């Protein structure tokens, strides 16, 4: 039986400042570093060999992953992909969430943050935050970098990548670790747990708390659980 471990990176500097981060390449906060170390310990306690690992182009996810691999005395070889980057928040990028809520109203704010199909206004081509994107973005094919995304848009890049590059390892009964982001992991959970468009807005992914998904002999989702029970969020399945 293979295991898939889904890990949202530890708290980032902009998470701590309550700002929309998206594709901006900010680092972990001190709390985030501690969350990454805690995640590493929890995974180590599984006594599990991690056969292959994946992360995004963003340093907060990469640093979380390398912390886990080092703690588990694993080879620091891993796969990076822009397809599992965080959702692009468009013109909201860099803005304080509370101030934005006051400006646009609570209902519109909820639509931007949690709806399935509604994307924020697009980022301007000369937005200063573009200079804060990952240098790894230079390898993304021309025209593929978005200027805003809904969760549906995020899903449409995460799931094809999962099916093409990651799922084959699960089918070979390998143990896989993905260190990614709140929305890219929400998109993946939507697919794995068959969550409806209406219920996906209820799914929360905590930072720095590994979610283990076990697959049966037919490679179907079996058991699933957070390693830190005290910080676990409700897992929605087939709703």
Question: pLDDT tens digit string along 32-78?
Answer: 999 999 999 999 999 988 999 999 999 999 999 999 999 988 888 89
Radius of gyration of the chain (CA): 17
Q: Which residues contact 228 (CB under 8 A, 6 or more apart)?
A: 38, 42, 209, 210
77 occurs within a structural domain: yes
102 occurs within a structural domain: yes
Q: Could you tell me the residue range of the domain that residue 138 belongs to?
A: 9-50+57-174+183-231
Higher pLDDT, 219 or 180: 180
168 occurs within a structural domain: yes
Q: Give yes or no: 219 in active site.
A: no
Q: Give yes or no: 165 in active site.
A: no
96 occurs within a structural domain: yes
- Any idea what the CATH number is for the domain that residue 99 is in? 3.40.50.1240
What's the longest Cα–Cα distance across the chain? Answer: 51
pLDDT at 70 (0 to 100): 94
**Within 13 Å of residue 165, how many CA atoms lie on the same side as its CB?**
19
2 occurs within a structural domain: no
Share above pLDDT 90 across residues of the chain, in percent, rounded to a whole number: 91
217 occurs within a structural domain: yes
Strand partners, 19: 96
Q: Which of 35, 83, 86, 149 is catalytic?
A: 86
1 occurs within a structural domain: no
Q: What angle do CA 88, 94, 98 make, to 5 degrees?
A: 105
66 occurs within a structural domain: yes
Number of domains within the chain: 1
Q: Which of 9, 35, 83, 149 is catalytic?
A: 9
Q: In whole angstroms, give the CA distance from residue 24 to residue 89.
A: 10
pLDDT at 109 (0 to 100): 95
What is the value of pTM for the model shown?
Answer: 0.96
pLDDT category of residue 239 using cuts at 50, 70 and 90? low
């Amino acid at each position: 039986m293979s295991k898939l471990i889904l890990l949202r990176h530890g708290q980032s500097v902009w998470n701590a400042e309550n700002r929309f981060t998206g594709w901006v390449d900010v680092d972990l906060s001190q709390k985030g570093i501690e969350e990454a170390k805690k995640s590493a310990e929890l995974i180590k306690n599984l006594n599990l060999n991690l056969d292959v690992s994946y992360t995004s182009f963003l340093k907060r996810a990469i640093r979380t992953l390398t912390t886990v691999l080092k703690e588990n005395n694993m080879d620091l070889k891993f796969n990076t992909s822009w397809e599992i980057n965080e959702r692009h928040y468009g013109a909201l990028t860099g803005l304080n969430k509370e101030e934005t809520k006051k400006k646009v109203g609570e209902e519109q704010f909820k639509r931007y943050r949690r709806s399935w199909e509604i994307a924020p206004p697009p980022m301007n081509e000369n937005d200063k935050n573009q200079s804060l994107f990952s240098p790894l973005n230079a390898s993304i094919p021309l025209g593929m970098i978005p200027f805003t995304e809904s969760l549906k848009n995020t899903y449409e890049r995460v799931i094809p990548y999962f099916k093409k590059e990651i799922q084959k390892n699960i089918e070979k009964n390998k143990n896989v670790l993905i260190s990614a982001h709140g929305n890219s992991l929400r998109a993946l959970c939507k697919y794995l747990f068959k969550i409806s468009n209406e219920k996906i807005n209820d799914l929360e992914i905590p930072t720095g708390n590994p979610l283990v998904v076990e697959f049966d002999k037919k490679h179907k989702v079996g058991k699933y659980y957070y390693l830190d029970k005290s910080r676990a969020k409700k897992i929605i399945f087939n709703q």
